[in-house]
């Protein structure tokens, strides 16, 4: 009896919408404003210790506290950068957040600097 009811339900549903024309949804048009964004300056945060400290220790601490960072080597110097941020205000807000976390963790001799990212050429 159950099989019979199941077969009847499948057949009834299979016939639903028969003869109706279904149009595929059209993709929304996307406008790209890349040239305007490319001209706007971007900002980074540099996290560095005043005392010699392993970069992996500092970047590991940042990751443990949910701060995404990247390690960059420029001119033979290793730097820990966070960002980019679209405005200086965003970068300064994140700077305050990181500094507060450093104070709570009693980390000393670590500074967080706001830097303007050089324009890509």
Domains of the chain: residue spans and CATH: 41-116 (3.30.70.120)
pLDDT at 105 over 90: yes
43-49 and 70-74 strand pairing? unpaired
pLDDT for residue 40: 79
Mean pLDDT of the chain: 80
Of 26 and 57, the structure prediction assigns the larger pLDDT to 57
Q: What percent of the chain has pLDDT over 90?
A: 41
Helices then strands (H, E): number in the chain?
4, 4
**Predicted structure pTM score:** 0.63
What local confidence, expressed as pLDDT, does residue 74 receive?
87
b/e for 62-95, b at 16 or more Cβ within 10 A? beeeebebeeeeeeeeebbbbbebeeeeebeebb
* Mean pLDDT value of segment 73-96: 92
Cβ atoms of 49 and 110 within 8 Å: the answer is yes
């Amino acid at each position: 009896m159950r099989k019979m009811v199941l077969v009847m339900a499948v057949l009834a549903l299979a016939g639903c919408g028969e003869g109706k024309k279904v149009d595929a949804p059209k993709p929304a048009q996307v406008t790209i404003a890349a040239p305007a964004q490319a001209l706007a300056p971007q900002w980074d945060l540099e996290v560095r210790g005043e005392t010699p400290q392993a970069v992996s220790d500092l970047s590991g601490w940042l990751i443990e506290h949910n701060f995404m960072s990247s390690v960059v080597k420029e001119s033979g110097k290793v730097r820990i950068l966070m960002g980019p941020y679209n405005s200086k205000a965003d970068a300064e807000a994140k700077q305050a957040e990181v500094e507060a976390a450093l104070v709570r963790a009693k980390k000393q001799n670590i500074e967080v600097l706001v830097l303007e990212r050089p324009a890509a050429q």
